[in-house]
Structure 1
Amino acid sequence: MEQMIGIKEQNAHAVALQLSKLLADEFLLYTKTRNAHWNVEGPSFHSMHLFFEAQYEQLDEMMDSVAERIRQIGHYAPGTLNQLLRLTHLSEYTERDNRSLSFIQELLNDHESVIEFLRGNITPFAETLRDLGTSDFITGLMEKHEAMAWMLRAHLK
């Protein structure tokens, strides 16, 4: 059934493609944060284990909201690991030890990459693709990633 939501199909397709890339990034960041939760070691193990758990729970909600936004504009969200790995801008894994600061630095870099991707799409979604709803949606996601990045960055001071 054709969507009658005020967005031209070609624009909705372009938005869905960018959102699919975002979903892939969110999924990979979620997975890397889960890995940190499972494998962190060191004297701050317990507090970092809980910290990473809180972060991946936030990412899970964000990831779900991105997939639902793709569906709201009439497209299907990528749902296989193969699709997600092809779409992501992030690297799956870098060599590091299992100390919390190593995980934190890697996750911070990924959050900052996602923030840049989001910031770069806010205006094009609104002005070029005429999708103010998705522009507003990703502005909110960007703010959540900024808060998460701040929490990670605070550990590195």
Structure 2
Amino acid sequence: MTTSTQTNIDALNTVLGQTFRLYVQTHGYHWNVEGPNFRLLHSLFEAQYQNLWAALDDIAERIRIQGAYAPGTVVDLMKLAPAEAAPTHSAEAMITTLIAEHDTIAGTLRDAIKAAGVAGDEVSVGLLTDRLEWHEKELWMMKASTR
């Protein structure tokens, strides 16, 4: 296995871990949000966690296609992501936290796109670019809702 292929696999693993953690966090926010914007945020968080859940399989399969095993335990996945934000029950804090989390994963995706390009893995470049587009759109919408 070449160094660029291993770097690509490592980047995909990081994206997978961060996506999993964000999925869990967003699902928890869906369960626990309250306040005057409950229905709107409950639906927003549901749409986000469903998108994140679906993305996990695609990312893991790209890792397998590259010849590596995808992390298969919660512990292994969580090792690949930064520490979780402190729990919150404020709807405003949930949005603020998710803005920061989506911004973080967008940066990770940009790095992973570069790694996939160097490895000549155009399919991963496409997948990761699609993921970046989704996260950037979610960022825009959440930021717009705070103004």
TM-score, structure 2 as length reference: 0.90
Alignment of 1:1-157 (within 5 A): 9-88=2-81, 90-96=82-88, 98-127=89-118, 129-157=119-147
Gaps of 5+ in 2: none
- 1:73 maps to a residue whose letter is Q
1:57-96 Cα shifts (integer Å, max 9, x gaps): 11111122111111122221102111112111x3213153
- SS for the counterpart of 1:31 is helix
What is the count of residue pairs matched by the alignment? Answer: 147
Q: Secondary structure at the match of 1:79?
A: coil
**CA–CA distance in structure 1, aligned partners of residues 32 and 87 of structure 2:** 14
RMSD: 1.6
Contact 1:101 1:155 in 2 (8 A): no
Bigger Rg over Cα: 1
For the residue of structure 1 that corresponds to 2:86, the secondary structure is coil
Report the identity percentage. Answer: 34
Q: Which runs of 5+ in 1 are unaligned?
A: 1-7
Amino acid at match of 2:86: T
Moved over 6 A (4+): none
Counterparts of 1:99 and 1:71, CA distance in 2: 39
